[in-house]
């Protein structure tokens, strides 16, 4: 059954209104008040950041959390920072996005057969949400999985990888011991009522990884090349097409 855009929009509305983690809410607001010098004339989003993309997508990208001066500023996942530059270049190269960059919510970006979410929807101090904060956000990840029903999941970083596999265990799609995170790792989840889900791991395209050479564009591209090849193997009856974009709430 095709996902409902209305269910997707309702989920995003609930995410934006979430106030379960007072520390994170205050941090988002604080960053929005002090701002970075380069953005001092901008109005920051400074709230939980909703999902972005196609609710009918076969590819789901799971990140860590909004960047303090990226998505927390713009209000759209991976938009306005260098991590997003890496991600959207890769998505564009493999046909999942109509353009290779993401600057603002009104920049015309559209995703094809792809959706983006995060293990944590608020920008955390030092990019480190607590275990309790991740548990609070696990509700939104589970609901996202239910709506999107992906065939391939790309987990960006260890926190995203662990969040996806915890969801899988809780929904009887996997059992311990779980595969350890490593760039290029793969896990196959086997739902009883729908096709298998392949989870692919990548280092997060953070500056800490890209500036040091721990993650190169060749390494990053290979993950999305694998995702594209997996989706191309599907029978025509299982393929989903189309595009979807959402405005900031």
Task: Indicate whether 212 pLDDT > 70.
Answer: yes
Separation between Cα atoms, residue 211 and residue 235, nearest integer Å: 40
Q: Note the pLDDT of residue 175.
A: 85
Q: Note the pLDDT of residue 240.
A: 54
Task: Indicate whether 5 pLDDT > 90.
Answer: no
What's the whole-number average pLDDT of the chain? 93
According to DSSP, residue 246 is labeled -
Q: Note the pLDDT of residue 246.
A: 44
The closest alpha carbon to 79, from 124, 40, 49, belongs to: 49
Strands in the chain per DSSP E: 52-53, 59-63, 111-112, 114-118, 152-156, 186-189, 197-202, 243-244
User: In this structure, how many other beta carbons lie within 10 angstroms of the beta carbon of residue 142?
Assistant: 14
Residue with the larger pLDDT of the pair 176 and 96: 96
Separation between Cα atoms, residue 154 and residue 167, nearest integer Å: 14
Residues shown for the chain: 249
Is the CB of residue 74 less than 8 Å from the CB of residue 46?
Answer: no
Task: Indicate whether 242 pLDDT > 70.
Answer: no
Q: Note the pLDDT of residue 220.
A: 98
Q: Note the pLDDT of residue 247.
A: 44
Q: Note the pLDDT of residue 56.
A: 95
- Tokens coding 233: 């193997």
Task: Indicate whether 196 pLDDT > 70.
Answer: yes
Domains of the chain from N-terminus onward:
5-233 (3.40.470.10)
In this structure, what are the phi and psi dihedrals at residue 80, rounded to the nearest 5 degrees?
A: 100, 15
Task: Indicate whether 170 pLDDT > 60.
Answer: yes
Question: What's the whole-number mean pLDDT along residues 198-202?
Answer: 98
Q: What is the CA radius of gyration of the chain?
A: 17
Q: 3-class SS at 197?
A: strand
Q: Side-chain half-sphere of 210: how many Cα atoms within 13 Å?
A: 16
Q: Residue ranges of the alpha helices (H) in 101-238?
A: 131-148, 158-170, 207-210, 217-232
Separation between Cα atoms, residue 95 and residue 26, nearest integer Å: 38
Task: Indicate whether 128 pLDDT > 70.
Answer: yes
| Cα torsion 153, 158, 159, 163: sign | positive
Q: 3-class SS at 107?
A: coil
Task: Indicate whether 249 pLDDT > 50.
Answer: no
Question: What's the whole-number mean pLDDT along residues 141-166?
Answer: 97
């Amino acid at each position: 059954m095709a996902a409902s855009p209305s269910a997707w929009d309702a989920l995003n509305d609930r995410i934006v209104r979430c106030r379960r983690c007072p520390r994170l809410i205050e941090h988002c607001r604080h960053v929005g008040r002090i701002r970075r010098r380069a953005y001092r004339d901008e109005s920051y989003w400074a709230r939980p950041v909703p999902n972005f993309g196609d609710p009918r997508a076969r590819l789901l990208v799971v990140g860590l959390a909004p960047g303090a001066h990226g998505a927390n500023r713009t209000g759209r996942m991976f938009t306005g920072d260098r991590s997003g530059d890496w991600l959207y270049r890769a998505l564009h190269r493999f046909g999942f996005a109509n353009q290779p960059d993401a600057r603002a919510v009104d920049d015309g970006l559209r995703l094809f057969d792809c959706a983006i979410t995060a293990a944590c929807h608020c920008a955390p101090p030092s990019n480190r949400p607590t275990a309790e904060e991740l548990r609070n956000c696990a509700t939104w990840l589970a609901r996202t999985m239910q709506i999107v029903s992906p065939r391939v999941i790309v987990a960006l970083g260890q926190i995203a990888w662990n969040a996806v596999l915890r969801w899988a265990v809780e929904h009887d799609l996997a059992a311990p011991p779980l595969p350890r995170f490593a760039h290029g790792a793969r896990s196959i989840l086997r739902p009883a009522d729908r096709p298998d889900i392949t989870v692919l791991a990548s280092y997060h395209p953070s500056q800490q990884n890209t500036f040091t050479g721990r993650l190169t564009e060749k390494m990053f591209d290979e993950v999305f090349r694998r995702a594209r090849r997996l989706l191309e193997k599907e029978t025509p009856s299982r393929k989903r097409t189309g595009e979807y974009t959402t405005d900031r709430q």
